[in-house]
Amino acid sequence: MPRLLWGMRVAAVQTTAGPDRVANLESAAGWVEAAARAGARLVVLPEYFSVAGGPDVLRDLAEPLDGPTVEWARDQARRWGIHLVAGTFPERPAGAGATGGRLYNTSCLIGPTGSVDAVYRKVHLFDVALAGTSFRESATFAPGDQLCVARVGEGPGGEDDGGALVGLSVCYDLRFPELYRILTLRGATVVVVPSAFTAATGLPHWELLLRARAVENQVFMIAAGQVGRLPAGMPDCHGHSMIVDPWGTILAQREDPTPGVIVADLDAGRQRTIRSELPVLANRRPEAYRWPNDDTRGTVGTGG
């Protein structure tokens, strides 16, 4: 396999997962192979790609960090010589007391030798009421508290030339721009977004948010989504997996509401030009920024 260089060819995989982990992984393996054979050196899988279902299913099939999902991902990355973002899976923490018995919704970046290069536990949990239906991700999962940026590959000049820095995020994180700004300030040039974005919000918000995060941070966004009807206890999903460049241009998207894979080439030179000619990151004024003390601002109270 050729060495991964920055720019690079990347892929986002779209799936419709169910409660059968073996079947889900077998299906995902076919799409990973298709992406690798198309030349992708970084492949991103969706949220809940290995196990999808209600809280009981997720608890029953939760696994440790060295469990079957990550072992499968390590094998796939080694087999194809790629970097693989293993979407998310329900992780059972080693010490459950710290999370009150809850799981983590965990994403891993696997290197081409099978190394686990980064672990990100979803920070923002999907606790919402949409069209009369409530979803409380926090009843099953505990939030992570660490943001994550990891190096992928090398630049043309070798290791010291950098390669790409990839920021990790998951689905509902997309609505919290501060997370993406921090990833960018830590050096991220590419951000991945494994997702199970709801059909109810997908049409008005999915593309809008992905392009906004790309433009305001001048990063590439690689968003891999679940699509269609998932098992009971989970919302129907929007799909439309998408790869967006730092100008907000959609490089690839899966418009067909079925599983599949999309591929695009990321042009590092274009990113450098955009950041040079429109230097929004350099023009920041952090000395003028003050966070409000009230972290409930913007919520609707029920008191008098």
Mean pLDDT of 52-72: 97
Chain centroid to Cα 242, Å, comes to 11
Ordered by start, the domain boundaries in the chain are 8-288
pTM: 0.93
For 83-99, write each residue's pLDDT tens digit.
999 999 999 998 766 78
Q: What CATH number does domain 8-288 carry, 3.90.1170.50, 3.60.110.10, 1.20.140.10, 3.40.50.300?
A: 3.60.110.10
Identify the band that residue 11 occupies on the pLDDT scale cut at 50, 70 and 90.
very high
19-28 burial: b if 16+ Cβ within 10 Å, else e: bbbeebbebb
Of the listed 122, 137, 148, 207, which one is catalytic?
A: 122
Among this protein's residues, is 47 annotated catalytic?
Answer: yes
CA neighbor of 16 nearest in space, from 303, 190, 206, 231? 231
95-122 burial: b if 16+ Cβ within 10 Å, else e: eeeebeebbbbbbbbbbbebebbbbbbb
For 196-234, write each residue's pLDDT tens digit.
999 999 999 999 999 999 999 999 999 999 999 999 989
pLDDT of residue 292: 84
Burial label for 265, CB within 10 Å (0-12, 13-18, 19+), is middle
Mean pLDDT of 151-175: 77
Of the listed 108, 171, 207, 237, which one is catalytic?
A: 171
Among this protein's residues, is 171 annotated catalytic?
Answer: yes
**Residue 242 vs residue 99, higher pLDDT:** 242
Identify the band that residue 297 occupies on the pLDDT scale cut at 50, 70 and 90.
low
